[in-house]
Structure 1
Amino acid sequence: MNHISPIWIFLFISIVGLHSNHAQTLKRKGLLGIMMQTLNDSIVTQNNLKVSSGVYISTVMPNSTFSNLGVKQGNVLTKLNGRSVNTIQEVLGITGQLHEGDIIEVEYYSGNKRQNKSTSLLGRPIETFENANVSYDEVVYEGNVLRSILVTPKHKTKPPVIYFLQGYTCGSVETVSNDNPMKKLMLDWVNAGFAIYRIEKPGVGDSKSEKDCSQISFEEEFKAFKEGYNDLLKKSAIDTDNIFMFGHSMGGVIAPLLNHIKLPQGVITYGTVGKNWYDYMIDLYTIQPKHFGVTDAQIKEDNKINLKFNDDLLVRKLSGKEMSEKKEYASQFNLEDFKRGQYIGRDFKFWQGLVDVDIPQAWSRTKTNVLAMHGEFDIQAINEKGAQKIADLVNKNGGKGTFVLIENADHGFINFNSMQHNVETLARGNMGLYARDNYNTEIAKETIDWIKRNLKS
């Protein structure tokens, strides 16, 4: 069974629909309609589960494929189309190849009772905003056809636009539920008069690619965001002189790398890092565990393995096969993932390409307006030093950087009373349910006010 992962994945298989001004070549992907967490000891204990492996279902949306199957919040998914699933990434790897109308078979546990059911996969509903139009399009390059989404406020001509750059996971950037904190953030932006542009990663959502997202390198992922930016610059419906990038988590690493195409009017980051990835991983192993009550002595003991792994992966750049043969890693890592060349849902090539990026240098070259934000209770971003460093680097090199601490906020735009409150909610496995009613409104307020102050007239 998995223990608490050093990088928490708050993943939402979000499903929305198609609305476009021209003929589409992409088939619509299906709707699972769930929020989930990889099962770990804490979730098993907190929820008194009888199953020790699988994926914990924290939310089931009404009128979705999984609600039709009878799956309920608190159930544990163990098989999907005949294949065992133990992680969110394994679920995504299977569902990423399915389209509307395909048959889906599941095995899941409700309490200690095993259920086996099947149904036709529902298609994604249309993403809607009361005060905006949603246009779905395609970005075609080098064997990829990626889904792009442009949301434009109604009754506003050529609005400023926010290019939303998502984090490292291979989940869809579409938003299905109005209860989703990301959807609420975008709704606030739209109501403030801003357009929003997004692009799916290769193999994610409706996108059609030769490789699944979990198989691509960092360079291939960056290429997708670059092609998205080129596409955005061609949009006649928005003001291309007032483009603001919003880099969430890993998206904050991508943002400064796009500046050579066209310097945006501003860049906003939330929950990202200001140091190079190797150094961030050291923090991940030495600082983050303290939030979960791990003692200094245990951290020191664990890091005899963790820090060696960090060097093997990021410095020596060993292959997954080579890493899987190192039996000392079995106590801390999943060697079966290593055999497939995978680490926390991404290919070894992704992490080994990322470590070559000089993140501080990229920010030093960002000579524009930058708002670097950190959520007070953000476990993934470790602490506010990363955002502070970004603002400092920008200011020292000809840009205009501002650091803002968002009180009570976590990594996923959710409001908490304390870091411990965040940890306990993660451990209980009900983050999705909690998130519905606890969106942190200060993130929108800060970004909207800052963008308005920095608009190019």
Structure 2
Amino acid sequence: MSGILRTSLLILFISLILSPDTYSQEMRRTGVLGAQLSPLSDSLAKASGVNINAGMVIARTVEGATADKCGLKAGDIITEINGAVIGGNNKLQKAIRKLREGDDITVKYQREGKAGTAKGKVTGKQFEKSDKFEVIYDKVPFRGGWLRSIVTKPFGKEKLPAILLIQGYTCTTVDGLSPLHPYKQLTDTLTLKGYAVMRVEKPGVGDCINTPDCFTMDILTETEAFGAAFEYMKKYSFVDSNNAFIFGHSMGGIVAPLIAEKTNIKGVIVYGTDHLPWFEYLIKMLRFQNPGFGVDYIESENDIKIYHRLLFEMLIEKKNIKQLTANPEYKRLLERDFMLDEDGMLFTRSLEFQQSLQDLNMTESWSRTRGYVLSIFGEGDFEVMDSFGHETIVDIVNTYNPGKAEYIFLPGTNHSMLLTGNMKESFEVQNKGLTVQYFSKFNFRLTDEIDKWIKKIIKN
């Protein structure tokens, strides 16, 4: 065996021994544009001569970030980033998520009717810091690549109960969240209560390297990624692996039992989720939500009749987007209610993702879930619409594993864990675009109940 090979194997051996407590920060940071952008108005598009679907206007820039360093200013209309035409939030996000710290960037823009080109280097997202607890940036190996993870823990080295957050439906980052973001308030509060808490990016999001694309992968790939993160979390020297938990929010509440049925776990907490097959959930959601968002009741019910055929063809027969949109009525509904875009995405994710959700049997998964279960429903959560799903999860678990599940009702709490009132009041907050303004009204009773339940489970 050559000396080089022996040295390489020794380095690999040492890295395996030290992992995961040799914390990783060498992953190149995702780039940030550092500009708040808004769609073009009709009047601004006409005045500037820019196609309304081929540009976005800068409302403000962040000092020291990419846009500012490139000389861009509020009022500039960005039309291209590195050759990609910018028109609407989807195209913007596609262009931005390709950027990494240190990359070259070329931005084409219009300023006061004149075209310009700005060039520079991409600045990276700042690392989170805290003087109240330790913040650890690390990476989780997954399918030959790496998932970015962030662990927060109390200072010190004692063995701690640990919680993995599994976030909701979208392919958005959980890194660098604002202090008032519900996930940040959730994880920070649990950390201050004495837990090690892990957040992990979905594949293809943020700093992740060589992982599947979140927007096109299926639910089983997403589950596999979070499962890898859960096993990695349990290996930290400061984690009590016998007291490891998952908190699944929204879609995370579907992923959580898929992991918990296959691994040793102390408990699962779910909030804002359901156990229904995806077909049934979507019918229920559309019938409940559309009138609340302004669709006439009779029109909505007529649409539901069409949806029964559409969703059967989409989820059961597994027809593709081209086949589905050949029907004008299907196309109309998919564009209105499912945000169908030019890439064939539905609710920002692929048709294959929707179809893979339909293939799940959540009743079976909950029946096989290892460990204890806490199912929490918020009174104003119009994403799950009623307490039936959360109460049924408890009934399923207790039928097959008696005494293992509990149900909690949180008054006045919406899907984002904010105190927005009952269902009707929460609808009004959403319709008026006030959700972000309610970030200061996080319901800390949620974290109190989680803490109380975990302590009881550990004690028993």
Same fold flag (TM > 0.5): yes
Question: Equivalents in 2 of 1:52, 1:425: separation in Å?
Answer: 29
Consecutive unaligned residues of structure 1, counting only runs of 5 or more, are 1-19, 41-50
Match of 1:44 in 2: none
Is 1:179 the counterpart of 2:180 in the alignment? yes
Q: List runs of 5+ in structure 2 lacking aligned partners.
A: 1-20, 42-51
Change over 3 Å in CA distance of 1:348–1:76 after alignment to 2: farther
Deviation at 1:71, TM superposition (A): 5.1
1:174 is paired with a residue whose SS is coil
Q: Call closer, same or farther: CA 1:194–1:114 in 2, change over 3 Å.
A: farther
Deviation sequence 1:115-145 (CA, Å, 0-9, x none): 9885643311111233221222222232322
The alignment status of 1:364 with 2:367, answered yes or no, reads yes
Identity %: 30
Structure 1 residues 104 and 297 mapped into 2: Cα distance closer, same or farther (>3 Å)?
farther
Choose 76-85 or 301-310, whichever is displaced more.
76-85
Question: Per-residue CA shift, 1:34-81, capped at 9, x if unaligned?
Answer: 7899999xxxxxxxxxx7998899998776556775559xx9988655
Q: Which residue of 2 aligns with 1:343?
A: 346
TM-score by length of structure 2 reads 0.81
Alignment of 1:328-339 (within 5 A): 328-334=329-335, 337=340
Cα distance in 2, alignment partners of residues 437 and 320 from structure 1: 40
**Aligned residue number for residue 408 of structure 1:** 412
Of residues 372, 375, 378 in structure 2, which corresponds to 1:375?
378
User: Cα–Cα, structure 1 residues 85 and 361, in superposed 2: closer, same or farther, change >3 Å?
Assistant: farther
1: distance between equivalents of 2:68 and 2:339? 31
3-state SS of 1:241 partner? strand
Tell me how far apart the structure 2 counterparts of residues 268 and 207 of structure 1 sit (CA, whole Å).
Answer: 26
- CA–CA separation in structure 2 for the residues paired with 1:455 and 1:62: 47
CA distance in 2, matches of 1:230, 1:145: 14
CA deviations 1:249-287 (Å, max 9, x no partner) are 111011111124423111100111121212111111111
Return the alpha-carbon distance in structure 2 between the equivalents of residues 178 and 106 of structure 1: 30
Specify the alignment match of 1:48 in structure 2.
Answer: none
Distance 1:396 1:57, change over 3 A: farther
Q: Which amino acid aligns with 1:313?
A: M
How many residues of Structure 1 are paired with residues of Structure 2 in the alignment? 426
Tell me if 1:316 matches 2:317. yes
Tell me by how many angstroms 1:98 deviates: 0.7
Map of 1:450 onto structure 2: 453
Larger RCO (alpha carbons 8 Å, 6+ apart):
1
Give me the whole-angstrom Cα distance separating, in 2, the residues matched to 1:288 and 1:58: 32
Partners of 1:252 and 1:273 within 8 A in 2: yes
Aligned residue in 2 for 1:429: 433
Equivalent residue of 2:177, what SS? coil
1:31-430 correspondence runs (5 A):
31-32=32-33, 65=66, 69-70=72-73, 81=82, 83-84=84-85, 88-102=89-103, 120-155=121-156, 157-209=158-210, 211-334=212-335, 337=340, 340-399=343-402, 400-430=404-434
Question: What is the SS of the residue equivalent to 1:173?
Answer: coil
Q: Is structure 2 residue 441 aligned with structure 1 residue 438?
A: yes
Give the CA RMSD over aligned residues.
3.6
Larger mean CA deviation between 30-39 and 82-91 belongs to 30-39
CA shift, 1:242, in A, is: 0.6
Structure 1 Cα separation of the partners of residues 77 and 300 of structure 2? 30
Amino acid at match of 1:411: H
Deviation at 1:352, TM superposition (A): 1.0
Q: Deviations over 1:123-176 (max 9, x none)?
A: 111112332212222222323221122222113511100111111211012243
CA contact 2:265–2:370 (8 Å) conserved in 1 = no
Structure 1 position 28 matched with structure 2 position 29: yes
For 1:413 and 1:54, the matched residues in 2 are separated by 34
Q: Quote how far apart the aligned CAs of 1:216 are.
A: 1.1
Matching residue of 1:4: none
Report the 3-state secondary structure (helix = DSSP H, G, I; strand = E; otherwise coil) of the residue aligned with 1:333. helix
What amino acid is the match of 1:222? Answer: T
Q: Secondary structure at the match of 1:287?
A: helix
Cα 1:230–1:439 shift into 2, 3 Å:
same
Separation in 2, partners of 1:181, 1:246: 13
The residue type paired with residue 366 of structure 2 is: W
Give the match's secondary structure for 1:342: coil
Q: Aligned in 2, Cα 1:381/1:66: closer, same or farther, shift over 3 Å?
A: farther
CA distance in 2, matches of 1:79, 1:148: 31
